[in-house]
Chain A
Amino acid sequence: MKLLPAFLALMVLAFSRPALAQAPAEIAAVPKECVGPGANDVQDPYLPNVAAALRDRKKIVILAIGSTSATMRGPIRGGYYAIVERILEKAFKPLDVVIIHRGVSGELAADAASRIKTEIALTKADLVLWQVGTADALAHVPIYEFRNTVTGQIRWLKEHKVDVILVGLRYAASLAKDPYYLGIRNIISDVAEKEKVIRLRRYDAEQALSKLNRDTAEGFDFAQNSEASSICTAEYIARAIAAGLFIKKAPPRPGTPGALPSAPAN
């Protein structure tokens, strides 16, 4: 794990955006390796339905779904979602965080989309963590189909008062110049922007680590890279959720559909 500190620092750069608001002190602190200039925020972090769940039930139900593996090395049942759960529960005692795993590795967004509806009905989740894009990119699903699927699903979730965080593509050096792969990545970014949902950019961070490996002539270890990126992704998911609980609604952007309701006054 000697690459972890360097990787975490790079994750900071990758996830960085101009700050929207300062989170209250109760929000779980991101480990110092992850903290850097502008790292304490994500775009449009407000999660009204998660906030309502916290206020009304002191319990958040999160549906983790999508095509990318959440597996980590060693017997960590629940993968990196277990880390998310632990961070949130530690930070917001006596909050009960329940993460339900329904990811099917390799599943296309279209198939996941229909399952999300069923799983939302069954689990009554407040938030969906959707790892989306990698399987579609590997399967070369037509770009327009992918866009329609993701957009349609996000809108359905909004209609049903469920928040969503998109966890984007993984990075692989051999795909760095692949126009199709990058096209899918851009679609996710574009859809997240237009639909005003949080997107965590795992690709950028893994890309930076890969560069660091080359620059320092370290042997490339995908398992280490994947592990480090999983840990930091968990940290940032937890942070995004925490921020979404407390930050007041972001001002609506020109041309975006209606404003979200106000956050609870915690």
Chain B
Amino acid sequence: MKREANAIDFWRGFALITIFINHIPGIVFDRFTSKNFSISDSAELFVFLAGWSLRLIVGREDRPRPMPQIVFRLGGRAITLYAAHMMIGMIAIAILASASIVLDNPLLLEWHNAAAVFFDPVNTHIGMALLSHQLGYFDILPLYVVLMVIAPLVAAIDRYLPRLLLPLSIAIYLTALSVPITIPTWPTEGQWFFNPLCWQLVFVLGFVMAKPSGIGGFVRRHIRPIRWLALPMVIGGAIMVIYDIYPDPVDMPEPKLLFIVGKTFVTPIRLIQFLALVAVFSAAYGYIRKLGPRLVEPISMLGRNSLEVFCVGSVLSLLGQVVRFQTGGSYAIDTGLVATGVTILFLTAWLAEWQDRVTKAPAT
């Protein structure tokens, strides 16, 4: 039986639509997404909600799931994510190759870090399998795979040494920022766009905040004053983004990553602003549900089927880029792309639930 619409699925669905639009650079609707008004963007929301969802998997505090069951389930999820990443990566390569032939433009073979696939295929195929080679805009699922691989450890620490989890996660985060430590790519030289050593904290925070006791419980009990404290941060963050008044990274003291804004390392400024955003907008779902109940269910449906929707959305975004490249982009083209894309995302989610219903329906 499908889950009722809820805030988690709704915001995850919202993030999926936003990611779909943001992954078509240059599209006019990109200007209306949250990244234009917020230091953090939908990536933080997506990873935070993944951590929140982990809480549902480990079970309630009074009725926890057995650890072996958690390990198998999360391991299975990691394999599913890995397979999904491989699949959409291969589709993306095929899209770029096809587009380069059809549009007679070999430059498309080098788009989004695909050049190594075509020019150095022996090493790059190994790199893709090892997740050390990632295509541009296809780089968040490798982070997810890593998070799912460490998720059993996160769940175990939370169960047996709950007070250790957040401090340990923060210690890893601060170490990665202070040294700094990055995860290198191979065979092309570079680093993971989403540094897992830093982004794990967003995941752990989602997991910790979802817990009715501990810090999660404290936040729930004091959410009103926290929202008032968070509101100026959200407004301040919006002003920073709109007027482009970020601190100059060169002028910051060492270790600089503690004081500058950066997505790769999800630096403290981004992280704090994101948490403030969560605090403020946690109040919004109730109002949205009242004002637009017909909006809540379909968007929650996207969130309930996030992996399928994300994969289809990633491929559609790349197709959208090719269409914009060929047509030049315009209000009409961009509107058509977003309307078609979002419709297909809803269709994907609906099909996933339809298939689930058919599979689970008793045979007559």
Do the beta carbons of A121 and B119 come within 8 Å of each other?
Answer: no
Q: Is the beta-carbon distance between A139 and B105 smaller than 8 angstroms? A: no
Q: Determine the residue in chain A with the shortest Cβ distance to B124.
A: A71
A-B contact pairs, 10 of them (CB 8 A): A74-B119, A77-B187, A101-B190, A104-B193, A120-B250, A122-B257, A134-B107, A140-B26, A140-B325, A141-B26
Q: Select from chain A the residue with minimum beta-carbon distance to B119.
A: A73
Given contacts A76-B120, A139-B321, could you give 20 more A-B pairs where the C-beta distance is less than 8 Å?
A71-B110, A71-B120, A72-B120, A73-B119, A75-B120, A77-B187, A81-B189, A101-B190, A104-B193, A105-B114, A108-B26, A111-B25, A117-B249, A118-B261, A138-B107, A160-B250, A175-B105, A222-B106, A223-B118, A225-B106
Contacting residues, chain B, for A121 (C-beta < 8 A)? 249-250, 252, 256, 260
Chain A residues with a Cβ closer than 8 Å to the other chain, count:
48
A103 at the interface (CB under 8 A from B): yes
Task: List A61-80 residues whose CB lies under 8 Å from chain B.
Answer: 68-79
Judge whether A226 and B119 touch: CB under 8 Å: yes
Q: Which of A14-22, A31-39, A166-174, A252-260 makes up part of the contact surface?
A: A166-174
**Complex: how many Å from CA A104 to CA B110?**
11
A41 at the interface (CB under 8 A from B): no
- In the assembled complex, the CB of A234 is this many whole angstroms from the nearest CB of chain B, namely 14
Contact across chains for A79 and B249 when beta carbons are under 8 A apart? no
Whether B250 lies near A105 (C-beta < 8 A) is: no
Query: What chain A residues lie within 8 Å of B189 (beta carbons)?
Result: 77-79, 81, 101
A73-B114 Cα distance, complex, nearest whole Å: 13
Known: A139-B325, A140-B324. A71 touches B25 (CB 8 A): no
A90 interfacial by beta-carbon distance below 8 Å: no
Q: How far is the CA of A68 from the CA of B107 in the complex (A)?
A: 9
Total contacts A to B, CB within 8 angstroms?
129
Q: Are A69 and B105 in contact (CB under 8 A)?
A: no
Q: Which residues of A contact B257 (CB under 8 A)?
A: 122
Q: Does B324 lie within 8 Å of A139, measured CB to CB?
A: yes
Kindly list chain B residues whose C-beta atoms are within 8 Å of the C-beta of A235.
none
Give Cα distance in the complex from A4 to B191, angstroms.
32
* Tally of contact residues, B, Cβ under 8 A: 47
Q: Tell me if A92 is interfacial: C-beta within 8 Å of chain B.
A: no
Q: Residues on A close to B: CB < 8 A?
A: 68-79, 81, 101-108, 111, 114-115, 117-118, 120-122, 134-136, 138-141, 160, 170, 172-175, 180, 222-223, 225-227
With A71-B120, A74-B120, A180-B328 as known contacts, state yes or no: A108 contacts B190, CB within 8 Å: no
Residues of chain A contacted by B236 (CB below 8 angstroms): none
Query: Counting CB contacts under 8 A, is B268 at the interface?
Result: no
Residues in B neighbouring A222, C-beta threshold 8 A = 106, 109
Complex contact B249–A105 (CB within 8 A): no
Cβ–Cβ < 8 Å partners of B180 in chain A: 122
Binary CB contact string for chain B from 88 to 132 against chain A (1 if under 8 A, 0 otherwise) = 000000000000000111111111111110111011000000000
* Contact A105–B328 (Cβ < 8 Å): no
A104-B136, A122-B256 known; A135 and B25 CB under 8 Å?
yes
**Chain B residues closer than 8 Å to A114, beta-carbon distance:** 246, 261
User: Is the beta-carbon distance between A139 and B116 smaller than 8 angstroms?
Assistant: no
Q: Report the nearest B residue to A141, measured CB to CB.
A: B26
A141–B123 contact, CB under 8 A? no
CA distance A139 to B137 in the complex (A): 14
B106 touches A69 (CB 8 A): no
Q: Which residues of B contact A173 (CB under 8 A)?
A: 104
